[in-house]
Structure 1
């Protein structure tokens, strides 16, 4: 029953995304409507925005956040916008990523991405934002707040992560959680996580050491790698993937690849992953498979469209 409902939700979302693509078939890629990062200025932009709204509201990650009262809406938006706006609005992107320090595990690969693409303005903006937030919080609440965080909160978080059981572990689509679900000690579970983290690290370096050839695909790959890399990723944080999946799905439909291709099947799996992880420990496999398929498509795009000689992301 749950699977049937999830598939129905996905069909509705995919239909809306497909409808939006057909309503504005002549829009240039860089002007594709996405109201969080792209202002819909072409005919059909409002329809695309509505389609995106439906896509978000029907996303399993949305339901998980609503059900558990989590902050994935905020952190997901900060992560996605920080990546999406790095080229066009570097200062704003840096503010988003600097604010994301409220949940450091989501930003472990972001500095590498910024360095590889030469987004120096984003880096400076993020550092300044982080320092400002730390200073402001210390000014308002006192330095003892930070001392208490390091002395009490961080050890407690580590205990919960390493010894927690039950539904807590089923909300983590990671190799570490997979090991813990099998009853393994935290050290062995972390060893199981290692190859997934190395894969995410390698794909990030491979993707962003070269000039951009398929921005939507690359952004989606980076976000997938963020969850693949961290041993403590949670399904409610996967709201960050929703807009990236929407843009990739739309580009696939525009390219007349709306059938059951490997990429589309992986998009379906990623879309449903926040719910799948409650029932089946397939998170690491789905994330790793999706990352590899996205990397393959990026490689194909680079072959089809030769990249410019210089990196365009330097700020």
Structure 2
């Protein structure tokens, strides 16, 4: 059976398929973890410890060495995405309380959902689109998107916008696994080789555990419409700045900016991870996870379509001119979504 190949054909499938399986368990057999107990209960409910290991491995996998062009393109896209998310959260925090909205059409919307949907790019989706529609250095520009992975940048945005206050020891505790992994991976290439594969390996496990916090019945509530609204908000509100930055700073056609206007598959883990260290967000975590999951699915489908349309209308000629001798993406690099 070609299970892995089938998952790979689904945008963000390595995250979304186990997430859905976990959600099915939560929806139809919610008593299963308590019934089986032991290791089965651990893998179904152990979101935080599994995320901690994944976060460490993600840090170990990041190597900040590439050509200047790749770093310029990477830095432009990553910083633009983060600044756009910060501005959006800064504005939204004036109207939305930390615990989220509880009535009306916007019931379920929260600052937590907005920041987690907005600030992480689907690196795998971006790289595959740029291999088709961009230059080689544009395809390699996913190298810095790994910095966005995990709750670190979301927490920084929440703190910088005034939407949350994290005590120093709590913030340090949240980012320490990532920093230790980053330090070890860059001090010793053999340690990077040892730990880096865990960044991919852990995704199905924390996705399944995370799915066990989601009741699919919520999809038949107003959250579906709200999720669609948030997803198109991600594409428009981060896509426009990304296009401008790609054209003005990155010296591209804007195609890379469109391709980066998605929500990463791993972003679905952030609401629970942040709520674990910032209890004021706990009431919003479940709905935020559902909204972010909807954003992942919608942006994974819509972004490739509009990237192709943009490329045909504005980018094809210049991209083909520049495609020739551009540097390839770093050997052994793996996009993270």
What TM-score does the superposition give when structure 2 sets the normalisation length? 0.30
Higher relative contact order (CA 8 A, sep 6+): 2
What TM-score does the superposition give when structure 1 sets the normalisation length? 0.31
